[in-house]
Structure 1
């Protein structure tokens, strides 16, 4: 067929398909009350509905997608069922489905009489044949379109593969400066002159990428900030110095707090930040404050820590690309510094991270290009370029098996002969280091940990990024600690030399990996929560050093506190401690929790705890059951302390448990908790009638003696508070209704008050 005839045939096909669709819709709409119709009518209606859907798809095709054979088959099918459609329409139009008498069921029985049934059965057979023919036609067109799509897609994928290959070379040139590392990711089976030319071209491409991409990002950030982050940039004074000056002191290394870096930030207070108005002693000291044993020594007790994060907000957004997507993550942090004169200075930082993530199915090698920039009050840093590459290998690859077996010699040989790369990952996305710690078995032998350390150290020396490995290392550490707990549940292993040796080796691995992270491994809150569970908020031993939560370069304790305060305070109250653990282990964990709580309460009304609970709760807040926050009394910390620390336990632990409960209650009362506050929140400690007080709960758990002693020590009138709790409801018994006409109201109240005073004096 010539091109003109083919075009006319395709145009005729599209026109007929549209007309047929309108006709089928018109006939199908005449089927009213199909649910009450006989089964034969329902089947005819169902076939019409299927044919309508097929014809609707055919009518939306373009002329280039229609072949000559498909058009001829479609025309033949329409001619075959044309008489059937017309006959059905004539039968249905004779009856009134709107004003039918006797209901739809009787009307359909009138239409489908015994003499008409063979005729309707023939209609059904014709429609079924038409449906089958149309499905065949549709399948042929889809196959034709699919073949064209596959051909186009193959061409496009080839181009994408080439572009990704160019990016791979560029990324490799940045990561692999030395010849040994460079040869692990880029084939160099060429002459020296050719290799030099390749390196020069790669350098030029990467320089262009590093120059163009931040400019592109910079232009898009302003639009995004205007649409989603209104009010953030207006609080940032770029290029100007404000009135007040604040200083943040911190550590230049992980656990060494002698050398400190000083960053001067100038900023005035903004309306969006927290401003504390209560006047108290900022250097408030609790009578039970210990010297810190489990927290970093630079966190001195009795003083509020400057540079504390008081608010954090995070927004994420993805932008699709033809070869993947761009992920943008923006984090706002508001810090507050307090001086001895009582003045507070607040500052704000805005961290914007752009990540280019190509589709993994386009290539066996993937790339993650990260651009990061921090906006502060008076200047904007340059973009930080962080390229990362990964190679997808099978689970039975030699390098994966060598890492699982912790065979350092085999790993070295695979890297030597360019059969492995530090960026290799298995099909499930786990890195080589994750497979190395897979052998942390139930015994937790030091030899196994030492072998894993050697392999990890070699992978890091080859350029492996440990950012994603931190979560996997915490998982392995949790398994090892849990197994040690179950093996030593009858006796303490705090001073066990085997456990201490394992802890030392794990700490070395952790420190080594943490110092080699290319980006913040704790940006993900779930990883930060894992670190909390394995250190200060832990429920088992051995635990990691608490100083890891106070690293200056990464997210830490402040971020976790304001991101998930429920978890922090619930853990510190002892909700997760198990009763069957050894006494020394339990004492070590309670002391660790208490020290952390002291750190939160240090500073009086300028403490981290006060900043968290001082802001009035929003009216639209949905309160969780057993929450730390209370809409009426601000917090439930006293209730949680009494509930999770009952004074009675086995004899060997009872004295320390009572002492621990006493010091927590004293600390909470001295930090501003109200001992007379009541609430009706839904919680485990609540009674059915609601409005329970801490005194009532202390009596219920058997801690009333400790509670009264704590009230006296904290400077409260324990006798009055206890009497009001005992006679709660009794005073209402003698309170008559407020009716002026009742002459007995006054005398009755006088008698009631006298009785209450008498009983109180006797008791």
Structure 2
């Protein structure tokens, strides 16, 4: 049940590798004419010949659809090339020096090899001619199989296109609701039924035909190109429905919702990815602009076929009217990891990539067995663990060409993020080395890293601008990119150009709902890294404050609190510290601000700006309904004993932030004196003071003043 299209694609890729070997053979022609007695070139020539022989062996083992006794132009060309290789190998074997030979015998064989140069060149020329014939034969077979494959799938493409047009017309007429349209299983069922039908037809057709070869011969390379263009007209369908381009300013209030669903069927997986961006107009909150990106991908089982199919839709709802802006149907081919196109992309050989695309031996939509796209291989080539591949202008040109050919640019964002983190680590190490010793190599590596960083930023913006699918579907990638930016705790943050992109923002609300512990621990952290400067710290703290303000403004905090309190069980009161939300109260954000703030560890030059930031955080929480009298039982937050409770005033005294707390209370219209006399000390501490008071008779008022004085010098 082998897919004929993938089989012929693999064979043509093998012959493409053979063509690279043949280039080395052409180079050796001139070498043998000039240096007839050089054993080094003889060994290189013999090694290249061995590669060619192993390639032919793989070709024979993969071509299982050709019976040995069948007359076929592919088998004829293969047998002719194999005979030429065998005869040349036999000739070289006679004149190759062995390790056990003496010096006289080695020089004798070198001399005989020099005399046989004419015969070797004639054999090599014969191999080149037979290789060309074999490659042309495989091209013709590939074209025929491609034509048959896409003709069988043409009916499926037309039916899905018709379905998309029907959905578009219903959306324009208001028959369907844009919010419930993509949840309908009509498109899923259609793709499932039609793809299964086409696969069954392809399997029956391939089993009924014993040979995949065709006796049709191409008269020239121009005719071969025309045949491939005819066959590839079904390769990718772009259905642009009502294209329009509207210049608009995106409002600040924007909510992003993402979902991934997979349906397992008997012969593969149907994957649904959906991203909905809702934008509220600042002046009229009832007016809404909603953009929905949905894709359905059918990925057959590996034993069935390496080729899948994907349908991508983009719709926009503007003030109640729905319009489909874009719809596309594209294949999802999986290729071997050692195929010619992956090797060419990893090495950055743009000319080879263009040749493979032009000849039909590769597609910009190809992915390897692990699911990596060509863009990922281009940005992060696998060149070894100890080496870091620089991102040069050649990489930018190659990625731009792949995107122009139709590669989905959203798949490149994980690779760009990996390279960003790798380069940042490299810069930190190089800067440390430069402090110890200043060498030219280290300075050059640092300059190369800076150039790579600029190229990565250009690649990131280009990929986001051309992406037709959501590049941030993976929640782990989303959180990692968000925390590695200037919002996070990294001393050397990454560029956050992707955080607030107009078309594909990462979004804060969905990350905060999914992982509130991680998000709020980052947003409430106020400690300044040792390597920060004043402007960088101000920028970082402003970003965190703006995000918290947006969560309250858009109403996301209520959803976060209700969801966490309903979904997160706590076994003990100490376990409540793992979240920012308490079972006994709406939350303890005020306590958390004080518990994560340690002014003793902060540099003196940053204490002023950090105190101002803490004060505005407290004001924000107080104005949005946080309880300043809350007695929180989460004793693990302040390393207390189980059963102890604290008020925000207790923690403010302990952290030497009582003056900041009083200023925040005054700013929201509360009297700080009411909180100083409102149980400043908790019960376990009062018990200790009671034992102390047995020796020294002090009134409770004096005890409180002493504690306030001690807290001021903490």
Match of 1:712?
A: 666
| 1:356 and 2:298 are equivalent in the alignment | yes
Name the CA distance, whole Å, in 2 between partners of 1:163 and 1:406. 26
Larger Rg: 1
Q: Deviations over 1:660-716 (max 9, x none)?
A: 434433444344433322222475336322322222223333333433344334433
Per-residue Cα deviation, 1:728-747 (whole angstroms, up to 9, x for no partner): 449999xxxxxxxxxxxxxx
Q: Pairwise mapping of residues 72-83 of structure 1 onto structure 2 (< 5 A)?
A: none
Could you say if the C-alpha distance between residues 640 and 546 of structure 1 is closer, same or farther in structure 2, counting changes exceeding 3 Å? farther
Secondary structure at 2:261's aligned position in 1?
A: strand
The reply to whether residue 588 of structure 1 matches residue 536 of structure 2 is: yes
TM-score, normalising length: structure 2: 0.55
Two-structure CA RMSD over aligned residues (Å): 5.3
Secondary structure at 2:599 match in 1: coil
Counting helix residues as a fraction of each chain, which structure ranks higher?
A: 2
2:108 maps to which residue? none
Structure 1 residues 731 and 327: CA distance shift in structure 2, 3 A: closer
Instruction: Assess if the C-alpha contact under 8 Å between 1:337 and 1:345 holds in 2.
Output: yes
Distance change (3 Å), C-alpha of 1:468 and 1:600:
same
Query: What's the counterpart of residue 545 of structure 2?
Result: 597
Match of 2:265 in 1: 320
Q: Is the 8 A contact 2:517 2:578 kept in 1?
A: no
Aligned to 1:261: 248
CA–CA distance in 2 between the matches of 1:320 and 1:193? Answer: 31
What residue is the counterpart of 2:569 in the other structure?
622
In the TM superposition, 1:530-609 aligns within 5 A as: 530-540=480-490, 541-546=492-497, 548-552=499-503, 556-574=507-525, 579=529, 581-584=530-533, 588-589=536-537, 591-601=539-549, 606-608=553-555
2:255 matched to 1:309?
yes
SS of residue matched to 2:296: strand
- Give the 5 Å matches for 1:339-738: 353-363=295-305, 365-372=306-313, 378=320, 381=323, 385-438=327-380, 448-488=391-431, 501-540=451-490, 541-546=492-497, 548-552=499-503, 556-574=507-525, 579=529, 581-584=530-533, 588-589=536-537, 591-601=539-549, 606-608=553-555, 610-612=557-559, 621-623=568-570, 625-648=577-600, 649-681=602-634, 683-685=636-638, 687-688=640-641, 689-729=643-683
Q: CA deviation at 1:422?
A: 1.9
Alpha-carbon separation, structure 2, partners of 1:558 and 1:615 = 14
Question: Could you tell me whether the CA contact under 8 Å between 1:533 and 1:539 is conserved in 2?
Answer: yes
1:667–1:193 Cα change, 3 Å: closer
Distance change (3 Å), C-alpha of 1:662 and 1:591? farther
Measured in 2, the distance between the counterparts of 1:521 and 1:619 equals: 31
Unaligned runs of at least 5 residues, structure 1: 1-156, 167-186, 230-257, 263-297, 300-304, 734-753
- Seen in structure 2, the aligned counterparts of structure 1 residues 375 and 630 have a Cα distance that, compared at 3 Å, is farther
Q: Does the C-alpha gap of structure 1 residues 601 and 489 become closer, same or farther in structure 2, counting only changes over 3 Å?
A: farther
SS in 1 for 2:364: coil
- CA separation in 2, counterparts of 1:650 and 1:491? 25
Stretch deviating more after TM superposition (205-214 or 668-677): 205-214
1:506 positional shift: 1.5
TM superposition shift of 1:647? 1.0
**TM-aligned CA deviation for residue 535 of structure 1:** 2.9
CA separation of 1:425/1:539 partners in 2, compared to 1, >3 Å: closer, same or farther? Answer: same
Instruction: Tell me: CA distance 1:508–1:368, structure 2 relative to 1, closer, same or farther (3 Å).
Output: same
Q: Which stretches in structure 2 are left out of the alignment for 5+ residues? A: 9-137, 171-175, 185-244, 436-442, 571-575, 688-697, 709-714
- Aligned residues, how many? 485
Structure 1 length-normalised TM = 0.52
